[in-house]
Structures are given as structure tokens and as C-alpha cells.
Amino acid sequence: MTTLPERILAAAARDRDASLAFLRALIRAGRDGEAAVLDRVQSAMETARCVVGIHDYAPATVPMKGEFASASAMDGEERRCVTARRKASGTGGRSLVFFAHPDSEPVTDAERWTNDPFAGAVVNGRIHGWGVADDLAGVAIMAEAMRLFAENAPPDHGEVILACTPSKRHARGVSALLHSGLDADAAVYLHPAESGAGMGEVKAFCSGQLEFRVVVRGLPPPTTEPLQTAFAHLAVNPVQEALRLIDRMRDFGDRRAERVRSEPLERTVGRSTNLMASYVAAGAPAKLARVPETCTVGFALAFPPSEKIEDVRREVEEALAEAVAERPALRERPPEILWDAGVSGAEIPPDHPLFRATARAIRAATGRDPEVNPMHTGSDIRNPIVQRGIPTVGLGPLCGDLSQNGGHDEWVDAEDYLRAVAAAALLIAEWCAPDAAS
């Protein structure tokens, strides 16, 4: 008599073409937008005899816990989540949430693509499509994993919830569901791995991040001359003041790096926290002989899960205050700090039952043990952990040329995608139906 994992692996091998076809169908649906993708997902879940739910929400109304976003950074439109639940009538299993996001980057530069971005072309073992790696593959993986499990498991085993939730531009779909009552013993974020490791890694650690801008104000020289270069020494040049401020903030970042330590980050990249100046804006090319009114500098700061976002934000404010106090020009016209967005870090340890179960499922599907990649700053695995204390990991197939990174011909490795489907189904079996899986 075969075991449930054996039946799942056999079904995954038998249904390769069906799993690939479903992902390609989502890519084609993307031509008509996010709503069309959600309709396709809902139809698949209803066919699988899941209880389907619709949750419409406004991102700005979702409570903020361990994160923040300015109104300008947040999606202002009403959004929709689609959920599917397979409710168990048996006992002994644990509940599991899979979540992935159906929304992708706005379609731009499609003419750069070698293939039609919405055809789902398979070339040299890669499935190409707009949003396939961010995150249509994740949506397809959870739907196909649910199907494989449901077709092979006893009907009274396994409570599984699928959540197709918007994420881009602070849409915060999974947070909306969590604050509306979604709960489970564990969660898995399904998203292709941008690191190049594919199914060779598990996302179980992510740093937090702050994004902010500092607006430095200048003072023009005492002249009515349209060309001010000869009077520059009598002005307060916000560009020069901003450059000094960048240097002082770099020193602050270096001091933090000496004090804040995280073993996974130190081992992987040699540093646990970083402050990066990433944006400068002042003046205009047509007015090079005039002192700018302001100079805006943008920063991003990454910090390990051991730090609280409010503590790091306070440190930044104190460092800026010290830098301002050193310069009379800044003291007279204090710079304005604009907080754009911030998220907390999160992690679960490698000895956690969810991580061990995930590693076993990946090993069974791929033949190798996965490693933890701690370099996924701001990963959505943080949301269930921070919002509701639900242990969460992430996994996904090999991908590349993401549109959000300026690439084209975005792709997901077809074989690694199929391995991810099998691993996700095996994880459901072990986590939600241990009696049937043994």
C-alpha cells in the first residue's frame, strides 16, 4: 500500500503538463489585468471543491503593526483578496496558510521582450511571462499543491487555506486578511527566489528596512543677479550641506555596524546592518549658476530581526539631530525628515518544526537539503510573524530577469517550478495530515 507522500510524488510526475498549463493560463490571463488572474484562481479553487471567499479592502484602512508607509507610498485603490479553504473534519493535523500575490509590476517596455509577455512561452526549459516570477508562479504553486493534496489525501485530513493577496505598492493584502481574522498554525509564502538558489533555499530570515528622505534648505546669496556663481560664498548651498550630512550619516551607519551583530548576516555578507544614501535631487540642469532652494537626500537602512523598528527609527532621528547640531547653517534651517516606509524584520530558527517539515518536503521533492538565505530584506514572510505571531517560511523556484529589477523576458525555471509544486503538496501532507502521511 502506498503512502500519501508517495501518491503525491507520483501524481506530481504524472500531472506535469497540467501544472505547467495552469501557470501558463495565469500568464495569459494577466493580459487582461489582476482581476482576470483572480477570476482564474477562483475558478480553479471552486473546481477543487474548496470553500472560496472574497475579501475587498482599502490598504489605508489596514492596521499598521511593526511597519509604516506614507500615504504617497501606499496603494490608494480598493483591492481584492481571494481565499480558498479545505476544512478538515479529522483530528491530529495542524492548519497551514499558503499565500502569494497575483499583482505584478505595471506593464512597461514590453517591446523589449523577445516573446509575447502574455503568451507563457516555454523556451529552453524556462517559462516566460509578465509577472511569472513576481508572483504568478507562487499563485500557481499553491493552487496546484492544493489540487495534488486534495486528490490524494483522505477527505477528513488537512486544513489548508490559500490566500491570493495583493502585495505591490504597499497593497498589504495578507495583512488585511490577518487583521480580519485569518489564523493558522503556520504559513508559507510562495515566491520564486530572486537569489539564484531556487528550491535550494528556504526564506526563514529577513531583515527589516527603513526608507526616508531628508530635505535640506538653502539660502540664496544677497543679490538680484540672475547668475549667482560669483556670490556663492555668501550663500548657504543645500547641496554642500547635504553632502556633509551624507558623510555624517555614513559614519552613523558604520558605528551601527560595529555594534549591531547578527550571525546569519555576518556569515553570509560580513555585515549585519547598512545605511545607504540612494537618492539626491536639487536644482535643475538649466540653472547651474543658481543656488538651489533645497536638496533632498534619500536613504535606506536595513536592520536585523533582533532590532525593533521604532528603536532604529529613533536612532536615525538622533543621528540626524547630532549632524544638524554641528552645522550652524543646518541649525538655523533644520532639515525635514520624511519617513516613506518601514517594515520589521522576522525569522524562525532552523530547529523550528515548520522549518524542519519544509526542509524534509524540499528534500523529498528535489533530492537535496535546502539552506537558509538571510539576504531577503523585507520579505513578506515577516507579515504573519509580525502581525499575528504565526511562524512563516518562504520557498519558490529559480527565476530571473525580473521586470521589477529592470529586466525583460522574465522567467521561471520549469523543472524547479514543478519541484516547488511537489514540495508544497508534501508539506501540506506532513503538516496538516500527519496520520495520513505516515
pLDDT in tens, 255-290: 999 999 999 999 999 999 999 999 999 999 999 999
| Distance separating alpha carbons of residues 90 and 71, to the nearest angstrom | 45
Q: Are 184 and 200 a contacting pair, CB within 8 Å?
A: no
Across all residues in the chain, what is the average pLDDT? 93
What architecture is domain 4-206+345-437? Answer: 3-Layer(aba) Sandwich (3.40)
What are the residues whose beta carbons fall under 8 Å from the beta carbon of 278, sequence distance 6 or more?
298, 299, 300
Q: Where in the chain is the domain with CATH 3.30.70.360?
A: 208-343
Q: What does the pLDDT read at residue 388? A: 95
Give dist(CA 182, CA 53) in Å, integer. Answer: 12
What does the radius of gyration of the chain's CA atoms come to, in whole angstroms? Answer: 25
CA distance 377 to 221: 44
Q: pLDDT digits over 303-358, tens only?
A: 999 999 999 999 999 999 999 999 999 999 999 999 999 999 999 999 999 999 99
Assign 92 a pLDDT band (cuts: 50, 70, 90): low
pLDDT, tens digit (0-9, with 9 covering 90-100), for 381-431: 999 999 999 999 999 999 999 888 888 899 999 999 999 999 999 999 999
Rounded to the nearest 10°, the torsion over CA 25, 28, 33, 37 is: 0
Task: Give SS3 for 395.
Answer: strand
pLDDT category at 437 given cuts 50, 70, 90 is low
Read off the pTM: 0.92
Second CATH level (architecture) for the domain 208-343: 2-Layer Sandwich (3.30)
CATH code 3.40.630.10 region(s) in the chain: 4-206+345-437
* ω into 75 cis (within 30 of 0): no
Do 188 and 163 touch, CB atoms closer than 8 A? Answer: no
